[in-house]
A and B are shown apart, each in its own frame.
Chain A
Amino acid sequence: AQKVTQAQTEISVVEKEDVTLDCVYETRDTTYYLFWYKQPPSGELVFLIRRNSFDEQNEISGRYSWNFQKSTSSFNFTITASQVVDSAVYFCALSDMDSNYQLIWGAGTKLIIKP
């Protein structure tokens, strides 16, 4: 069965530090999609990225970068030079044929950026 594991329940760093949020997934499908969402204190989940299983290129968007490694079934998210506004809960998710392409969510990692 599919599964998404975010082993870090909470991470606390000081502003300007780099921080990596881990995500490990399990699926039997060869075609699948991986996602990261951000949930700030306001409650609304905000889409950050979607990658398909055939595209292992790492992606960078400003201070955000994602490292997709099929060999370790991981899709880690790094924030460079963190800012207080990055404080939020971050969710990793997977969708595949087995799930009828509905999202399988990780438990989330709460990121606290201290000034």
Chain B
Amino acid sequence: ETGVTQTPRHLVMGMTNKKSLKCEQHLGHNAMYWYKQSAKKPLELMFVYNFKEQTENNSVPSRFSPECPNSSHLFLHLHTLQPEDSALYLCASSPLDREGEKLFFGSGTQLSVL
């Protein structure tokens, strides 16, 4: 079983749809992250959760809504997205060892907004 699992791998949605991305980590880590990766742009940190509490929200539009019910699961709820939101969404976890976080990533969800 891989350390960080993301579903679905691919998602196509219209601008009026509501969908959710799911992430699960089996590494016993205490921090989870959502990143956005667009073509030709650096990785963008979206949200960070430490021990289920949100600690970072990098000015992400409200059409992205994260949820972290426990340290092993992380969701990203999507609604009324725009075509420019099409990207690879990556989930990661880390052990919170306070030495510069070493992140473990899932394979990502490739999102296309039509």
- A and B form one complex: yes
| Chain B residue at smallest Cβ distance from A91 | B43
Q: Name A91-115 residues within 8 Å CB distance of B.
A: 91, 95, 100-103, 105-108
Taking the nearest CB of chain A, how far is it from the CB of B20, in angstroms?
19
Taking the nearest CB of chain B, how far is it from the CB of A104, in angstroms?
8
On chain B, the number of residues with a Cβ less than 8 Å from chain A's Cβ atoms is 22
B108→A95 contact, CB < 8 A? no
Taking the nearest CB of chain B, how far is it from the CB of A67, in angstroms?
19
Taking the nearest CB of chain A, how far is it from the CB of B81, in angstroms?
20
Given contacts A50-B100, A91-B43, contact A102 B56 (CB under 8 A): yes
A108 partner residues in chain B, CB cutoff 8 A: 42
Q: How many A-B residue pairs have CB under 8 A?
A: 52
Secondary structure dominating the interface of B: loop
Interface size class of A (residues with CB under 8 A): 20 to 34
Stretch at the interface among A18-26, A40-48, A57-65, A74-82: A40-48
CA distance A106 to B88 in the complex (A): 17
Taking the nearest CB of chain B, how far is it from the CB of A87, in angstroms?
17
A43→B99 contact, CB < 8 A? no
CA distance A33 to B100 in the complex (A): 6
**Which A residues have a C-beta under 8 Å from some C-beta of B?**
32-33, 35, 37, 42-47, 50, 52, 91, 95, 100-103, 105-108
